[in-house]
Structure 1
């Protein structure tokens, strides 16, 4: 055999060997990429629901988180706080001490309160996700993802929509209830007030009191007294789904009829859907709480198991009105919307 032939034969053999190696590698990679059931099994997480067990908004968040737990397989401890920011902060301190693999935390306590605890979590190698209220300063320094609305933008968009749908004019009077003094969480209601005031509406702010979110009936004396003092009020806004779902009780206690006042707020729930059905509620900004339960669990699992970067998603999707509430009514009764 000539030297040239020998060289060609050797080259051909090398090519076959290389092709075989590529095929084996591809087969190996293909096998490794097969879908896995319960791929987050063995991971320990703590999830902050925010509210009390059984409250309208917290239940939907909880349902989303439990669905993610079932789909992905981690072990999840659920923390209920009754929307008490001081209690949330203490519970986060306790959660970090347990040293889980990851924590999904409500952002209600705000950047200042959460900053030292985020530092402690980072030092301990605990992955973090935040939901419902953004904490941009904490995330900028210590990382983590956020699932929920950008509350200031959502609040402003709600105020613009209220002015349009309620037909409010300069000089008209409206109420807005919310936690105005809370740096991060109150940005939503402050945004709504700003948008309405820019349209010339006189907005009277009603500061949330401890316990209202957990039991809206505690607000009955304040809401009814405000309506009695300002009989000219044309619109009333509420700073959460529990309060919005209690609108029929507020209006009946004040002697108002369905539609007499334009009632608006944030979130959907079976109670809010009934409010739309009865003509008591006219507008709700939808922040999709089910996603605020599901995606933080997914985000933590992806960070811990696959070393992916954290998920961040704005869930402030749009508005529920008397024209479209029926589209989500069944899902609301199922605890998904």
Structure 2
């Protein structure tokens, strides 16, 4: 090999090594600790402090805050859409870099505030209830289960699992006045109606998500009016976790009426263990806390696009509830 060729090969090798070293240094410098520490975020947990579902959402958000270093202010609304709307108005006025908002107030109520946030340069994310019209017009994304499909899947699974047939009576409970929020229970209702079940559409009393005991007179009256009821579908983890109280107040034994719904919690795990609850659809609220903060940080710091995440995770049953029991008790599932 000629001397000039040897020199050329050596030059290429040295250049390759140098580029590799530069790439390694660049890669190392790109990995930042607490990389979202200069970002301020307002986060809506939805319910009241300490309630079963909101606590898991909050724990997910707190974990993201700890991991990423963001400065997060937490907002609790007692599941009141009106309160959420007012709090969103106040949050926009505070001019944080990002807001993670519960979608319960719906498209019409959120739309003008989303426009205001967009004009102010505030990044938005939405969790738990989708507001597709808002995100289509002003950006942002959604982290949560897809309401209608999740509800329908629960109804279809109940029909299959419990052998429900045409003419059987089912009670489906929701706040039917909240159009976007009620899409989930409407999906369950439609699945039952399509199978020929007789469905009783029961209105949730105000405050059910914060104090499930307010549902006792409503549910016991519905059971008394429909003594042949086979199944009751509840609108969330708070009332589902209170199924034993409702059934005992209605004079029913464990398993005499099938109780189904959404979410997991220590109360729901206990209800599975004692035979009061037979089926729930898990929507992983921990992710509904963690992912909106992660996405807002990515948008603000790295200029990345908003992240949509379907958190629906399937069903928890008497056969598998023990697999999530420890995490539910810890406030993570």
2:204 counterpart residue number: 208
1:289 counterpart residue number: 285
Q: Deviations over 1:4-33 (max 9, x none)?
A: x9x999988996896587356425423323
Post-superposition offset of 1:207: 1.2
2:269 counterpart residue number: 273
2:185 is the alignment partner of 1:189? yes
Query: Structure 1 regions of 5+ residues with no counterpart?
Result: none
Post-superposition offset of 1:181: 2.5
1:44 to 40, 45, 60: 40
CA contact (8 A) 1:151 1:188 kept: yes
CA contact (8 A) 1:53 1:80 kept: yes
1:68 counterpart residue number: 64
CA contact (8 A) 2:205 2:218 kept: no
Post-superposition offset of 1:259: 0.2
2:91 to 88, 95, 108: 95
Query: Normalising by structure 1, what TM-score?
Result: 0.94
2:114 is the alignment partner of 1:84? no
What RMSD, in angstroms, separates the aligned Cα atoms of the two structures?
1.9
Distance 2:193 2:275 in 1: 26
Partner of 2:327, secondary structure, is: helix
Post-superposition offset of 1:39: 1.1
Distance 1:176 1:100 in 2: 40
2:27 to 15, 27, 30: 30
With over 3 angstroms needed to count, the CA separation of the structure-2 counterparts of 1:11 and 1:56, relative to structure 1, is same
Distance 2:12 2:232 in 1: 76
1:151 to 141, 147, 153: 147
Partner of 2:170, secondary structure, is: strand
Q: Choose 11-20 or 246-255, whichever is displaced more.
A: 11-20
Distance 2:20 2:315 in 1: 53
Query: Normalising by structure 2, what TM-score?
Result: 0.95
Q: Which runs of 4+ in 1 moved over 3 A?
A: 7-25
Distance 1:23 1:172 in 2: 69
Partner of 1:314, secondary structure, is: coil
Distance 2:302 2:283 in 1: 28
Distance 2:292 2:174 in 1: 25
2:175 is the alignment partner of 1:173? no
Q: Choose 257-266 or 161-170, whichever is displaced more.
A: 161-170
Distance 1:282 1:13 in 2: 72
CA contact (8 A) 2:272 2:321 kept: yes
